[in-house]
Structure 1
Amino acid sequence: MIKAKMSDKKWVTGMLASSFSDNPSVNYILSGDRRRPERILALMDYSFELCMRFGEVWLSDDRRGCALLLFPQHKRTTLSSIWLDLKLVLGAVGLGRIGKVLRRERLVSGKQPKAAMAYLWFIGVDPLYQHAGLGSVLLNELLKRADDLALPVYLETSVAANLPWYERFGFKVYDELDLGYRLSFLVKPLTAYA
């Protein structure tokens, strides 16, 4: 696993945008208008930037996959984070959808514990190389990283077909939310060492 640099941003955001273009959560947040390709890139740009500041961005060794890991307990309101939020609203969400998105974020935040964690925001593999085990290798390495940091891993998924995959790695569904699509909340507790 390779720690990403700012110079990796264009590749990471483009790869995640193509991997998540049909994701129900992303579709809920973004308008389906003619600017949708720009909007999804802006969302991934925001996510990348936030994780570079308050988390970590990892690339698979072959650079065909990546993961955005956020440490919410480290997140602070700064001028740069306010600027990122503004760019997210203007570039991705749009002013007309801000109420809907804020409501969603309030509901999601209410389901998440207020404890130290590693929040797996996005994990994706270049669509040309999906279903070849690359995501599994990357997820295993991320889980080892979280164990080294003594942090449980939390995530949400809006793709029901992904649940068995996460469960194979020890994740458990701890809650769900109906937003017109089902959003499942998962946790992978710390591994207990003998």
Structure 2
Amino acid sequence: MIKATKLEKDIALEILHSAFFNILIPNSINFTIKKDHKRHERLMALMDYQFKMSMKYGEVFISDDKNGCVLYIDKIYPSLDKVSWEIKLLFKCIGIENTYKTLKRENL
């Protein structure tokens, strides 16, 4: 297993996207992502957000065979980057109409 850098971002995003794209059962990802014809782009935006959060607040690991990825977040603290990423996530993934239910679930 290797510790990823920003150079491995595309590899990590592809691993994560492929792991969740065809899973349509109720889970946190399917709860969060707006359900429409842009599922691919929305899921990629969510994985991009998670990758950035893990790089800033934790670590990202990729398996030696590049078939597995672990995102680890230690402690999140306020930052302008985080706010910027969340706004982007809101518009590219969650959708305005799903914001309340997503925040409510996150608080639980």
TM-score (norm 1): 0.52
* Counterpart mapping for 1:178-193 below 5 A: none
State the alpha-carbon separation in 1 of the partners of residues 66 and 42 from structure 2.
Answer: 24
Q: What is aligned with 1:78?
A: 79
Aligned to 2:101: 100
Following the alignment from structure 2 to structure 1, what is the Cα–Cα distance between the partners of residues 60 and 93?
A: 21
Say yes or no: does 1:19 pair with 2:19. Answer: yes
Q: Displacement of 1:7 after TM fit?
A: 1.3
Q: Which has the higher helix share?
A: 2
Residue 39 of structure 2, aligned match among 30, 36, 39: 36
How many angstroms does 1:9 deviate by? 1.0
| Larger strand share, 1 or 2 | 1
What does residue 90 of structure 1 align with? 91
Structure 1 residue runs without a partner (length 5+): 108-194
Report the Cα offset of residue 54 of structure 1.
Answer: 0.2
Q: Aligned partners of 1:61, 1:36: CA distance in 2, in Å?
A: 29
Unpaired stretches in structure 2, ≥5 consecutive residues: none
Residues 1:10 and 2:13 aligned together? no
Output one character per residue of 1:33-56: Cα deviation in whole Å (capped at 9) or x when no partner: 011110000000000000000000
- Distance in 2 (alpha carbons) for counterparts of 1:40 and 1:68: 16
Amino acid in the other structure paired with 1:51: S
Other-structure match for 1:64:
67
Structure 1: 4+ residue segments shifted above 4 A: none
Instruction: Give the alignment's Cα RMSD to 1 decimal.
Output: 1.1
Checking the alignment, whether the CA contact within 8 Å between 2:60 and 2:70 is kept in structure 1 is yes
Indicate the structure whose relative CO is greater, using CA pairs within 8 Å and at least 6 residues apart: 2
Deviation at 1:99? 0.4
What CA distance in whole angstroms lies between the structure 2 residues aligned with 1:80 and 1:17? 23
Distance 2:49 2:38 in 1: 16
